[in-house]
Structure 1
Amino acid sequence: MTESVRLLGISGSIRRNSYCTAVLQTLGEGLGGKASLDLFPLHDIPPYDPDLDAENTPDSAVALRKAIAAADGLVVISPEYNYGMSGVLKNALDWASRPAMQAPVKGKAILIMTASPAFTGGVRAQHEMRETLAGMMGRVIARPQVVIASVHEKIKDGRLTDAAAISFALAAIDDLLAEIRMLRAAGAV
């Protein structure tokens, strides 16, 4: 890509030693100049309240919307809680989905991932993530699912260390970058 690409990473975990955040940090370091990956922390996003979503929108929700709007694409990763995405992520996406039909996610290329200590790697949450983001009119890229199973055994010192998982996730980011190139060529971004 000749133009720089700005990716925004959103981790569905606010845990201090979050596996999902560690995955995003590792991937950002492995991009090799193809793109930048900035992380948006969800710690300060309040519960979605339509009564606050107008001229009273909380600063953290406004900042999330602006960060999404400024990005060329999103990398969204979640743990799996009770077969779905984390409540923290769903809440942030609810804030990011407004204003309806004009949300900053609309038309944005998005890569979804899950990571879990379970052998399933959070795969059951992927459907819910895909449905929510598609409902927001985001462009979740079609590709084999990025699922990091037994993630607790693959994180060391705050970084993903499993070579196969890193390679597969970076290939998924390459697919995301290809989608962004296609959207740019079509004048959609």
Structure 2
Amino acid sequence: MKTDTVIIGEDGLTRPAWAHANPLMRAYYDTEWGMPVREEQGLLERICLEGFQSGLSWNTILHKREAFREVFADFHPETVAAYGDKDVDQLMADPRIVRNRAKILATIKNARATITLRNEGGLVKFVWSFQPETTPAPQTPADIPTQSPESRALSTALRKRGFSFVGPVTMYALMEAIGMVDTHLVNSHRRGSSGVWG
């Protein structure tokens, strides 16, 4: 059943249309999207996967996520930072992931930048320092921003520290995914579930 803003599932719970694409997307929406990520490895994974998603659908990335985790050693910074040309060639030959050389190289670069960023308190502290003072309260999907002053500032700051594929739209998607902003529609059953926003 559709309403103006969400779809009411057979379980009676309200979700945005994208969360009804398939069981994997629904589980991601119900259990993970919008929940805080406050550990380095998990946050590096999110940043890199948001970069891989650029120009593609999140559904595509989510279906390839386990393969991404396998080939990038669960996004362990030191391991990925040590990847060289031979590793890149192997990744480019792996049909289970998105075979985009620029995005693969960005993941390696981001792992190296993550290690360097430990000198400034670490990736988690750095990213979360851009959390805005307020969060949107969208009634409809059209009310959801695609970027913000904070996502633009975060993008600029990460680029200055050596990160790639971290544009302001990509960083806003990251902020949504990790609960820095709550863009669940106000009548979604997940609104407020992160505990970050009252």
Q: Identify the TM-score tier after normalising by the shorter chain.
A: under 0.3
Larger radius of gyration, structure 1 or 2?
2
Normalised TM-score (structure 2): 0.23
Q: Which has the higher contact order (CA 8 A, sep 6+)?
A: 2
More helix by share: 2
